Amino acid sequence: MKSSPELAKHAKDNHVIKKLNLQAFAGRPLCLLNGNVEAHYVQGILEYFQHNNPTVGLKHLKTAADGSYENGIYLYGILMLCRGEMDEVKAYLDKLQWQKDKKRADKCWRSIQTSLQGIPVI
């Protein structure tokens, strides 16, 4: 907010704050160092899929999931499913309460598909 007076002015509106998407800035190291879960999610996708570095990618995605970032929870859970880590799958996907509301998981999947557009998956 300090770096953008215009953003700070509009941020006083709670509706703006709730809808604010910082994805364009999420890859910045400062966001990662400050524990921004969306930044960890984006970095996890880049490391896992684009840089072919699954260990680091999973670490970032787990951080996003542990921070209750829904897309991070879903993607981390699905990747753990693919790796056969069933205890992790249950622990994380159950956080989305998908058994009660399948729309929540569907929303995450659609959002993840958007996140992966333009990233060459190895």
Q: Name the residue range of residue 89's domain.
A: 23-116
Q: What is the pTM of this model?
A: 0.69
Instruction: Report the pLDDT value the prediction gives residue 114, as an integer from 0 to 100.
Output: 76
* CA-based nearest residue to 63, from 73, 55, 54: 73
Q: Is 65 exposed, middle or buried (0-12, 13-18, 19+ CB in 10 A)?
A: buried
Domain harbouring 97, CATH code: 1.25.40
In a domain, 9, yes or no: no
Q: Does a structural domain hold residue 81?
A: yes
Question: Which tokens is 73 given?
Answer: 């929870």
In a domain, 8, yes or no: no
Residue at 87 is within a domain: yes
**Domain assignment present for 13:** no
Q: Is residue 77 part of a domain?
A: yes
List own/partner pairs for 94-98 with CB under 8 A and 24 or more apart. Answer: 95/65, 95/68, 96/70
pLDDT band at 34 (very low <50, low <70, confident <90, very high): confident
- The answer to the question of residue 95 being in a domain is yes
Structural domains in the chain (count)? 1
* Residue 83 resides in a domain: yes
120 confidence band (pLDDT: 50, 70, 90): low
In which band, very low, low, confident or very high, does the pLDDT at 54 lie, cut at 50, 70 and 90? very high
